[in-house]
Each structure stands twice: as C-alpha cells, then as structure tokens.
Amino acid sequence: MAKLMGRSIVGFGDGDEVSERFYGINPANGQRLQPGYSSAKAADVEHAAQLAAEAFRVYGRTSGRERGAFLRAIAANIDSLTTELVERAHQETALPPGRLQGETARTCGQLRLFAQVAEEGSWVGARIDRADPDRKPAAKPDIRSMLRPLGPVAVFGASNFPLAFSVAGGDTASAFAAGNPVIVKAHPAHPGTSELVGQAISASVRECGLPEGVFSLLFDSATQVGVALVTHPLVKAVGFTGSRAAGRVLMDLAAARPEPIPFFGEMSSTNPVFVLPGALRERGEAIATGLHASFTLGAGQFCTKPGIVFVPQGSDAQLLVKKLQELVLGSTPFQLLTPGIRSSYLSAVAGRKVHATVKSITEAPAPAPAAENGLSVGSVLFETDAASFLKSFQLEGEIFGPTTLLIQHSSRSELLEIARKLEGHLTATIHGTEQDLHDFGDLVAILENKVGRLVFNGFPTGVEVSHAMVHGGPYPATSDGRSTSVGSQAIFRFARPVCYQGFPDDALPEELKDSNPLRIWRMIEGEMTREANVPVLVSESR
Amino acid sequence: MAKLMGRSIVGFGDGDEVSERFYGINPANGQRLQPGYSSAKAADVEHAAQLAAEAFRVYGRTSGRERGAFLRAIAANIDSLTTELVERAHQETALPPGRLQGETARTCGQLRLFAQVAEEGSWVGARIDRADPDRKPAAKPDIRSMLRPLGPVAVFGASNFPLAFSVAGGDTASAFAAGNPVIVKAHPAHPGTSELVGQAISASVRECGLPEGVFSLLFDSATQVGVALVTHPLVKAVGFTGSRAAGRVLMDLAAARPEPIPFFGEMSSTNPVFVLPGALRERGEAIATGLHASFTLGAGQFCTKPGIVFVPQGSDAQLLVKKLQELVLGSTPFQLLTPGIRSSYLSAVAGRKVHATVKSITEAPAPAPAAENGLSVGSVLFETDAASFLKSFQLEGEIFGPTTLLIQHSSRSELLEIARKLEGHLTATIHGTEQDLHDFGDLVAILENKVGRLVFNGFPTGVEVSHAMVHGGPYPATSDGRSTSVGSQAIFRFARPVCYQGFPDDALPEELKDSNPLRIWRMIEGEMTREANVPVLVSESR
C-alpha cells in the first residue's frame, strides 16, 4: 500500500509542509479524508519550474523510443495501483468503482497511445526540401523541418475525471510524448488520488533514469499556485480543464505575460442536440432514453453533457417529452463531486426555475440536505420554446449536474437562426434519418463552424481516445479552437516547428537524416514517403 | 493601365471617400504620389466584415480545386500587372526595380504554391478511425477528422515587402487556400501598389464566380481600421507582419476580446549570427562579405536581417572586422522606406552611439538630410564585448536599417550563457566547420529552443518559400511560435480540426468518404495511406 504524505512532489523531493492543511471530502457523507494536504509555497513553484527547465535540456532531446518507454512505465505503475486508486478515488469523488476502474484503464490506454505515437515518430511532421545549387536566380538551400517540444508545461487537473483528465491525464501524456517536462497543479477535490498517481509518475522518472525535473505535482486549495505557474517565465505552455470563469482568468494571465504563452483551456460546453423530424417520428422514445442516460452520466458532470436539446414542436415531441419525464421522475439522487459544484448546481437550477420563459417540467425528488446525504441532488428537466431561447441566450450557459433544457421550435428557419447564433461548443449532435440529414444539410454546415465534434445518431458523452478524435471547439468551449485535448492530435498543442537550413546530415536530428533511420513518414518535396534515403535532386527534372 | 481610385475596396463596391486624404511618399525624393487615399470609415469595416461572414458560408465549403483556381487567377492577374506594379512600387518604396520584379514573381509563386496545396488536398490531415460494433465494454464509433477553415481573416500588409507580405502575400494566400475570406488592411506606405493588387484579387473573385465578400481591402493612415478589424466579432483570426510595438498592441486586443481569436503576428527579430572559431580562421573575410550583403539587403529592412553577430575575440576576428569596416565605408547611402522608419533608425543609431559600452567602429557617410536626398541614411557598424552585452540586454532589440552589432566573446561558456539568455528570434545562423558544429552541439541545442530556423553556413536573409520553411519562432519573434508565416505550413494557422462521428458516407466531406475520391493522404487507424476505400475493421484482428 502506497503511503500518502500530504505534500507536493517537487522533482525527487517533497514540497514544504504548512500548518494549515486541506482535506479531500467524501461526497457521499461529507466526511474529511486523511491525510491533510499542504498547499505548495511560492518556493515550491520556483523550485519545480527551475528543475523542469533544467530537465528540459535532457528530456527535450530524448528519442521517441525513450519517451515511449517512460509513458509505458507510468501506465504500468498506474495499472499496478488500480485497486488502491479506485478505492481512494471512490472515497474522494463518490463515483462508482466500475466507472473508476474504467477510467483507470482509459488513463493507461491514453498513456500507451501516446507512447505508440512517440515511438512510431511520424507525428513530428518531418519535411525535407532538397538543395538545388543550380537554381536560378538563386541557389536553393536544403531545408528540413520537424516539430520540437516547447519546454515546461503546466497542467491543471480537472475535478470531474480524477484520473483521465488529471495528474496523468491526456494533457500530461501528450506533453510528455512531445518531449516536455510537466508540472501538474492537482485538483483539490481528489488530492489522495492525485498523490498516488504522482508517485507512480515519479517512480517512472527514476526507473527510466530521467532528470527529476521532468515531473512535479503541486497541491493548492486556493489559486496562488495556479497563477504562479501560468505566469512563471520558465513555463512555456498550459493545459487546463475546468470552468469557464477560471479558464478565462488563467487564459488572460497567459496572454498578458511579458512573453505570452500558448494556453489550452477546455472550459465550457452545452453540447446542443438537434432531434430532426424523421428521427423524432421513428424513435422519439429511444432518443429520450439515450438522452437521459447521457445527461445524467457521471451525475451530469461531463464536459460533453447534452445541456440543450432542440425538438420540433408537435405530437411527436410529446412522446419524447413524456418518456423523458418518466425517466427523470424515476431516477435516484445523484452525488455531485464537490460542495462547490453542488451549490452552483442548486443556484443555477433555482435561477432557471424563476426564469420568465422556462418551465421546470419534471423534477426528481432530492433527499433533504442532511449530512448523511452528502452532496446528493435531484435531476431536473426544463423546457422552453425557441422564441424565448432566442431572446435569452444565457440559457445556452453550462450547468454542471443532472439537468437539461428542452427547446421546442416551430419552424426550420427558427432552428437555423438559433444554430447560427450559438457560441462555440465541444460537440453538436444530430438525431435524424438519412432523409433528415439531407434536408438539414444547412444545419450541418452551420454546426461545422460551431463545434469540434459532430455526432450523428449517438450521444456526445463517451469521448473516444483515438487518432481522429477532436475534443475541442471554438471559444468558449476551448481557449483555442485549433486544438484537441483528447486523442493523439492533442500532442500538437505542445510542439512547434523548427527548420534546419544547410545542415550536414550528421548534425541533423534522426527524423531529418537522409537515411530516415526511424522509418517515419516524411514529406519530401511535397510528396509523402517513408523510404530511406532522400533522393538527390536532379536539376533537369524541375 | 489600371486606374487608381484612392478608395477602399469593399466586396465589389468602393469604400466611402473622405475629405482628408493621405498619400504615398516617394522615399527617393520625399514627393507625394497621386492619387490621395481615403481612410476607410467604421461603416466600411462593418460592411466588409458582414460581407466576409456571408461569403464564408459559400467560400468555406468550396473544394480545393475551386480554391486553387481562384489562387491561380490571382497570380495570373498579378503577373499581367507586373510592369505597372513594379513601376508604382518603385515610386512608393524606392526599392530597386529588379528586387520588385523578383518580389512580384515570388508573390505569384506563393499563390501558386498554395493553389497546389489546396488542389492536392492532403493538407487537411484527414484521419479515419473505423467503427467496431463488437468492441467491449463499449462499441467503437466511426470517427473521421479533418481541418476546416476558421472564418473571415484580417491581414495586415507589411511595409517592407510591398508585394510578398502585403495585399496578396503569404498571409492572404494561405488564408484563402484554407477556405477563409480575407479583409486586408493596406499598409499606408504603398497604397497604390496595394490598390493595384487589390483590383487584381477583386477581378479574380468575379472571374471565379465567388461571393464578393471573399475579399476586401481597407485603407487607413492611422490605427482605427486595424483596431476595428481585430476586435470585430465576425473576424475569426488575424495575420500581421510589422513592429513589435504595434504587434503587441493588436495581439493584446485579440486576446482581450469577449471571444478571443488566434493572432499570428510576425514582429521582431535580431537573427543572431554565431561565427565559430574554425570557420573564422578558415574564411573570416568571406563571412564578412556575406554578412555585409545580408545586413544591408533591402537597406537592412528585412525581418531576417542579422543584427547581432558573435565572434570569438582574437586576431582572426580582427580580419573579419577589418573587412566589414571596409565594406561599410565603401557602401553608398541606403534609402529607407518611410519617414517613420528613418527617424526610428536615426534615433536608435544615435542611442547606440552614446551607449556606455558600445563603440560605433565604422560609419558610412550619409548625405545631408536635404529634400532631394529623400530618406537616405548611412550604414553603421557597432561593436561591443560579450560581458557588456550580457549586462545590457536591450542591445538585443531590433533596429530596422543597415546596421549590425558585432559582439566579441572571450570564452565558449560566455557564448553559451548569452545564447541561453536570448529571447525568441526568427532565425539563428552558425558559421562553422563540421568540427565546430560537433564541438558546439550544445549551442545548437540551445538555439533550437530560441528560433524557428537554424541556418548553417549561410545567411538568414532570403527566405525560401517551400514546404519545409519555418518563418516563425518564440515570442517576440512571433506572437505564437507554433506557426510559420512563410511556406506551405502557413496554411495551418487558419484552420481547425473538426471530427464527424457516426456520419453516413454520403453526408461526409469528400476528404473523409470511404472511397477517397480526392486520392489524398489520410491516416486510417494510425496508418498513412492514399488508397481508395476504407477497409472494414475485422474485430478478430484487434
């Protein structure tokens, strides 16, 4: 059994202890969990940043094979901690053990996916343009480019995925894979889980003989450490998953630095669902069932939770609504993750209840807020019409928790008008027949500009970790819609292109040498190839 | 002969005329050039933005073939204007006709390169992950991703490349190639050249039957139009080339918007040159000759001008210095582009002359500042030592104009210390023997983190437009070191990934259809291929 120390991990050392500790809280009963945690001090942040900058000199130049071995070591170490992790995470989050088991597997799967990407090596996008000394009016130089890491990356753990978007989550895995040291700011809602994972990473740093500064884990119950990391001159990029309010503050800090740095925040999304007429007619009840499962999954605390659902008004809609009402009424209370999330949920629901044009059409009874009930809340189904929605766009805002808003519209043009006015979201979902999809091609065209992922006849929760996944979208879904925080393309956030002009083969990185020793895919004079040897340019053939 | 109107081009219409006009100035004699230009009004900006947003609905969904045809039409129209363009640009910039002829060809070459990239189509980075309904614990959905355009892009013309980094320069060409409408804010130093090119683009929009809002060109002698564009809600990205001061202001505005947008500014660089001991010994004089040509090319007004040169002190250095002094003394005066650049140059040179630890070691005589001499200045060579440079890092700042600063260092460790402290630059250049390169591997490793392009035994001026070129670098060289503004990779600035989950083949973009009708390179389950047909996933093989 790994021992929890309640202190930050700074390279191979510990952060300072402070007298005032904070504690994980069991959402099921409101009880404090031992040990108490010391928030990192300014000196810990400074030390972690210095170590990371130093480590970058070595780690930034490791091979893909070495990075792969490191990521696989982390996965193996987390794997072997599964029982403890699930137990501790269950105490800290009240998420069901089955879900946490799955999330642990997913976390390890992500680490191994990035290991594979690093080992295979083509992700660097190597490009080679050959020299042509005979070109007129000027000789053409030999130019070769590839992606290189940025430097120390600060990662913010998220509350709602204590493993997959936390200490060893996708941000950390992709930053490591690209060759960057990582300093994680642990989410205070699951400090024990964070520390266990942090220990697993630290052990992997040692096992792989890497410099200690490759990884640090800082605890903080407040905001100082986060601000210090984002504004630290040695930190070169940030990965963040959290609320829109906190994300915007940090993103603004990153942009206002003397040297602004890339900030990748995944912040807020209501994930609109569009139920089109044919699908509604054919399988309204089945859609209701899927929708209910989706917006209550993880107690509605997923960034891909469908929070607004558009349905054409009429008798078909009534069947879907009726089914949803049944499901909501029959649902048992949900445990939210933190007191803060619970109070935000309750106040957002209360606000919506007194909204002039929104009806709370069904509400599952919540238990009285007694200590033994912890952070449980009931599910609420809201309804409004499209005209009201158009007049009150704050209804587009995200509410974390098991609630959704049905919006009935009276015409196709009203629906398109709403779609055009939507802000950025992570996903948009369309339920339709193939005929619907054909009839609503303009809706798809609008949504392509609003989201990172379009889902057809599915539900947005459940984000596949794969090469093609895009978990991103225009602001405010993310701070930079040109990126994804899930899937192998997440690696591109933490790298930048560098080109080498006129370098002798010996002095080039492996990825760019003539002989292509890594057998990676490269673009040579605009053509993709993974062949060895760069053919010599024959001037006559130009 | 195309007629100059002196008004902005807003879609297929003209901007409003205003009573107060501004004029291009001939740097050779300070004379005003006709016609006078009206600065665009707020209503012109608004109209251009509305038209662009409308045009995006169509242009954003054109095929690569259509975009290629459009870019080729622009190139053809500019080609056929070459004589007029060179004449007008020569009047407005005093740059030699030969250079302007070359720059026109380069501009058309860039447009055709991006046409080729759009037509070939693989740039979208299509990725396909196949469905696996039998996967446990959950079925795997079909997910396909590709890059899509962002929306209207604002482009700022640069003063120093009236064609290649101006109205139809690399920013415009790459934004068009990716599927974005463009609104150019013309640089007031060459309004006539800008208008001629704008007319050529407008004609191409008509010829290709594209919506008028695909292109607008706005004039402004002040800053209102630029600010209005960067802060306009319908503008979704910005391409900028200019000074660090102006770039930072605009970049901060882009970041502070309610919806922050990507801002790609290419701003400031001193392009350090490192002359290593072996090369200095073998060919110090030849290096001096190349260096002189490079720092005075275009009157020293290139963003890649080598402005700081590191040389090991000793007798070998003296030969290089002596040669440089000869060349500087023998150089004729240089015409700068604008009165503003001239006064900045003169004050920066004056400031350096009174700097405690910098010596002006050679200065070419400049003509007296009489009207007939226009904007001419003399070349100045400065010298200092590494210890002084380390204490006075403002010496790293860019001075636009024909001057450079030699820095003699006494040891390898001193050189490495300076390299580590450098801020971001577009390029770094190393002159060395293969032995030098081996001995200074740590210098190369440091510089890889400081610049976008490393040049060996060449000079940084002369930026090849090719697939592997990286014209970027960490702040303050650019606002986002993860990008390039020259070469085909510039297209990635103006696109974002979108994924389609569970879509029927019919409803997918061509790039993602099973049959691969465009025969582009795609990543299918992590493997690159340009084959037609996506193989069906056989579950057993997993």
- B356 by Cβ neighbours in 10 Å (0-12 / 13-18 / 19+) ranks as exposed
Å between A475 CA and nearest CA of chain B: 6
Alpha-carbon radius of gyration of chain B: 25
Q: Does A521 touch chain B (CB under 8 A)?
A: yes
Angstrom distances, CA of residue A276 to CA of A282, A309, A319, A513? 10, 11, 14, 54
Q: What is the pLDDT of residue A62?
A: 98
Q: Does B458 touch chain A (CB under 8 A)?
A: yes
> If DSSP states are collapsed to H, E and C, what string results for A316-358?
HHHHHHHHHHHHHHCCCCEECCCHHHHHHHHHHHHHHHCCCCC
Q: Which residues of B fall within a CB distance of 8 Å from A259? A: 423-424, 474-476
Q: Is the pLDDT of residue A536 over 70?
A: no
pLDDT digits (tens, 9 = 90+) for B258-279: 999 999 999 989 999 999 999 9
CA–CA gap between residue A308 and residue A109 (Å, rounded): 31
Averaged pLDDT for residues A167-177: 98
The kind and range of the H/E element at B204 are helix B191-207
Averaged pLDDT for residues B365-374: 68
Interface predicted TM-score (ipTM): 0.96
b vs e for A387-410, b when ≥16 Cβ sit within 10 Å of the residue's Cβ? Answer: ebbeeeeebbbbbbbbbbbbbbbe
CA–CA gap between residue B33 and residue A44 (Å, rounded): 62
Q: What is the pLDDT of residue B370?
A: 60
Residue whose tokens read 């191409």: B204
Q: Does A138 touch chain B (CB under 8 A)?
A: yes
Decide: B273 and B431 in contact? Cβ < 8 Å. yes
Q: Is the pLDDT of residue A532 over 90?
A: no
Q: Is the pLDDT of residue A181 over 60?
A: yes
> What percentage of chain B carries pLDDT values higher than 70?
97
CA A176 to chain centre: 15
Residues 53-72 of chain B with CB under 8 A from chain A are 56-57, 60-61
Q: Is the pLDDT of residue A186 over 90?
A: yes
pLDDT digits (tens, 9 = 90+) for B345-361: 999 999 999 998 898 88
Q: Does B260 touch chain A (CB under 8 A)?
A: yes
| DSSP sequence for A267-325 | ------EEE-HHHHHHHHHHHHHHHHHHHHGGGG--TT---EEEEE-SHHHHHHHHHHH
- H-only helix segments in B16-130: 42-59, 64-79, 82-93, 97-120
Tally: H helices and E strands in chain B: 15, 23
Mean pLDDT of chain B: 95
CA–CA gap between residue A189 and residue A299 (Å, rounded): 16
> What percentage of chain A carries pLDDT values higher than 90?
91
Decide: A287 and A492 in contact? Cβ < 8 Å. no
Q: Which residue has the higher pLDDT, B6 or B394?
A: B6
Q: What is the pLDDT of residue A364?
A: 85
Confidence of residue B542 (pLDDT cuts 50, 70, 90): very low
Decide: B65 and B39 in contact? Cβ < 8 Å. no
Q: Coil, strand or helix: which one is A369? A: coil
Q: What angle do CA B216, B219, B225 make, to 5 degrees?
A: 90
Q: Which of B251, B211, B219, B259 has the alpha carbon at shortest distance from B235?
A: B259
Confidence of residue A360 (pLDDT cuts 50, 70, 90): confident
Averaged pLDDT for residues A389-393: 91
Q: Does B151 touch chain A (CB under 8 A)?
A: yes
Interface A-B, measured as beta-carbon pairs within 8 A, has a size of: 226
Q: Is the pLDDT of residue A1 over 90?
A: no
At residue A154, φ and ψ (nearest 5 deg) are -95, 130
Q: Is the pLDDT of residue A539 over 60?
A: no
Confidence of residue A356 (pLDDT cuts 50, 70, 90): confident
Q: What is the pLDDT of residue A261?
A: 98
Decide: A194 and A186 in contact? Cβ < 8 Å. yes
CA–CA gap between residue B303 and residue B126 (Å, rounded): 34
Q: Which residues of A fall within a CB distance of 8 Å from B438? A: 506-507
pLDDT digits (tens, 9 = 90+) for A300-326: 999 999 999 999 999 999 999 999 999
CA–CA gap between residue B164 and residue B109 (Å, rounded): 10
Q: Is the pLDDT of residue A540 over 50?
A: no
Averaged pLDDT for residues A105-109: 97
Q: Coil, strand or helix: which one is A526? A: coil
Find the length of chain A: 542
Confidence of residue B541 (pLDDT cuts 50, 70, 90): very low
Nearest-by-CA chain B residue for A440: B507
Q: What is the pLDDT of residue A537?
A: 60
Q: What is the pLDDT of residue B536?
A: 66
Interchain CB distance below 8 Å, A259 and B476: yes
Catalytically active residues of B, by annotation: 266, 303
Decide: B510 and B490 in contact? Cβ < 8 Å. no
Q: Which of B10, B336, B301 has the alpha carbon at shortest distance from B152?
A: B10
Averaged pLDDT for residues A266-273: 96
Q: Is the pLDDT of residue A155 over 60?
A: yes
Q: What is the pLDDT of residue A75?
A: 98
Pairing of strands A127-129, A522-524: parallel
Determine if the peptide bond prior to B137 is cis (ω within 30°): yes
pLDDT digits (tens, 9 = 90+) for B474-518: 999 999 999 999 999 999 999 999 999 999 999 999 999 999 999
pLDDT digits (tens, 9 = 90+) for A22-66: 999 999 988 999 999 999 999 999 999 999 999 999 999 999 999
Decide: A305 and A461 in contact? Cβ < 8 Å. yes
Mutation choice for A interface testing from B251, B420, B436, B466 by most A CBs within 10 A? B466
CA–CA gap between residue B287 and residue B284 (Å, rounded): 5
pTM: 0.97
At residue A186, φ and ψ (nearest 5 deg) are -65, 145
Nearest-by-CA chain A residue for B146: A468
Of B140, B252, B260, the CB nearest to A464: B140
Mean pLDDT of chain A: 95
Q: Is the pLDDT of residue A371 over 60?
A: no
Q: Which residues of B fall within a CB distance of 8 Å from A61? A: 445
Averaged pLDDT for residues A353-371: 81
Mutation choice for A interface testing from B148, B422, B457, B498 by most A CBs within 10 A? B498
Beta-ladder partners of A239: A155, A264
Q: Which residues contact B246 (CB under 8 A, 6 or more apart)?
A: B223, B240
Q: CB B214: neighbour CB atoms within 10 A?
A: 27
Tokens of B171: 């920013």
Averaged pLDDT for residues A455-474: 97
Å between A500 CA and nearest CA of chain B: 5
Q: Does A134 touch chain B (CB under 8 A)?
A: no
Pairing of strands B308-312, B403-409: parallel
Q: CB A417: neighbour CB atoms within 10 A?
A: 14
pLDDT digits (tens, 9 = 90+) for A507-521: 999 999 999 999 999
**Share in percent of chain A as helix, strand, coil (round to 5):** 40, 20, 40
Residue B495 DSSP one-character state: E
Q: What is the pLDDT of residue B208?
A: 98
Confidence of residue B393 (pLDDT cuts 50, 70, 90): confident
Residue type, B254: A
Q: Active-site residue among A195, A208, A303, A511?
A: A303
Averaged pLDDT for residues A89-107: 96
CA–CA gap between residue A118 and residue B535 (Å, rounded): 25
Q: Coil, strand or helix: which one is B38? A: strand
Å between B71 CA and nearest CA of chain A: 18
Residues 83-112 of chain A with CB under 8 A from chain B are 102
Find the length of chain B: 542
Strand segments, DSSP code E, in B85-213 are: 127-129, 143-149, 153-156, 182-185
Q: Does B416 touch chain A (CB under 8 A)?
A: no
Q: Is the pLDDT of residue B288 over 60?
A: yes
pLDDT digits (tens, 9 = 90+) for B16-67: 999 999 999 999 988 999 999 999 999 999 999 999 999 999 999 999 999 9
Q: Active-site residue among A92, A195, A266, A383?
A: A266
pLDDT digits (tens, 9 = 90+) for B119-135: 999 999 999 999 999 99
A260 CB-side CA count, 13 A: 28
Crossing angle for the helix pair A412-421 and A441-448, to the nearest 10 degrees:
10
Decide: A459 and A505 in contact? Cβ < 8 Å. no
Q: What is the pLDDT of residue B57?
A: 97
